[in-house]
Structure 1
Amino acid sequence: MELDDIDTVGVVGAGTMGAGIAQVAAVAGYDVVMQDIERQFVDAGFDRIEESLDRKVASGDLTGDETAAARDRIEGTTTRGDLAPCDLVIEAVVEEMDVKQSVFEDLADVVDEGTVLATNTSTLSITTIASVIDRPERVLGLHFMNPVPVMKGVELVVGEKTSEETVALGHAFAEELGKETWEADDKPGFVTNRILMPWINEGVRAYDEGVAEKADIDRGMTLGTNVPMGPLELADHIGLDVVLDASETLHRELGDRYTPAYLLKRKVDAGDLGKKTGKGFYEYD
């Protein structure tokens, strides 16, 4: 399959990442089928897309006509079978291997043999996800960064059986969405989270151990290394539960150097997950 063969893109999962992927694909001119298990999740996904597109209009990045056309290109559904016409399907569900494998088993029964199946996983093995279907050469990782409509990067992850044709298509598709890509082997955490998670955890430990106030830790890292956010603020934006899940996965795979910080666990246990709950290391309106 080549890029010109892709007309319709499927997205499984209408959460923050799935809705963002659906939006950028629709803005790029693709018809999109966004599927989730309950209608309320699909509707929430459309709300996220609407708010994001409105911000694009306000900033001058898109016109009203362009956003209206993008909305019209997205179909929402709770039925997995509605993904059958898709030429490329991107899974963006929770970071649990059994859930992702179940999705891929369903997709293999629904879509054509030539359809490329991608996962937006940030830490889990592409090879293991693909092992439950008969054509693992058509499976790759397309790890979009959050928030998808804003961030320019897409991490392309190559599984043990991923074909060169599928890799080339992944790069071309992401670039068609206006993204820039880099390639990683199928090793825990790939490039981004393998390096990012210990950085965040060390920031949490520094705060917990009284090295500096949280604002000074973040200020020190933004001014000292020219990153846009410090570790604590970034953790809040990602979601502390997501950071903890990724850290625990890396800890299992790579050992003690990836041990999650104690305060991170305590925050998640308390339900303070960051910006999405209104409170993490900082408070949000």
Structure 2
Amino acid sequence: MAAGCNLCFAGVKAVIFVTGLCDDHCYYCPVNRNRLGHNVFYVNETPVSSIEDVVVEVARSGAEGASLTGGDPLARYSRTLAVIQTLKEWFGSRFHIHLYTSGRYATREVLVELDRAGLDEIRFHPTLEWFVDRISVAKKYTSMDVGLEIPIAPNLVEWAKRIMKEADARGVDFINLNEMEFVEPNARALLQRGLRESRRRPFTVKGAYEAAVELVEWAEENIRAPVHFCPASFKDAVQTRNRLRRTALVDKKWYESVTPTGTVVYTRIHRDGGCERIEAYPTPSREPIVSVEQIECDGANTD
């Protein structure tokens, strides 16, 4: 897999949502409509308002790298550039950063400047087929790893084969296939195109998994670059869970314990006169899972 994927797999990438602004109108976009089209800024789902906030949140998560996403990060190019430069200054040259873009704004000058700022990896999702040409520019004028990242559904198989061949001919370093999600923001548009949610794989498009497997098998005979399939379930079951756990281990107080899923169990002591009641709570429900009533209620010391 690509270096960025290996770090994501381990949950050591901070996810930086640079902006919700984007001039590509993909019907399958799963981004929440409270974000898409708005100039908002998040790190690991936490709103931030400055580059300094970004550094704090990245450090909090114990990240070893960052992925820059949106929207299209290049729609707010100066912010994106500042994030890359600042993260490299604070965390060092080995702090791996990758970025997702359609390529609409990825001119030669922009790509060269991103490379100089320290961007390690760029992933193109060519919403217009001529955007594939950006791969050639990035390969020729920068030292970045260059990838193709596209969504997969049954109605996109032939398009995907064509785009994969074109990207491969331009020397792309890797190709990632993402199982198309079926979620509230894109559900209406998907239904209008005859796509349905899979009963076997909730929150994904029916047949997307099988289409991805077909493409991987086809790529063995037709594509030089390594091709990787990323199931939608992986993001929650592995990637997000690992990232939550790392953040919780940094944040936890002395009286808290982090669970394997990244939630936190903590204790709370209630005093009513001379009586103490100790309860242990998990997050985020805040309902006690253990309640131990103290016997000594006459003011004597209790353990």
For the aligned pair, the TM-score class normalised by the smaller chain equals: 0.3 to 0.5
Question: More helix per residue: 1 or 2?
Answer: 1
> Larger Rg: 1 or 2?
2
TM-score (normalised: structure 1): 0.32
Question: More strand per residue: 1 or 2?
Answer: 2
TM-score (normalised: structure 2): 0.31
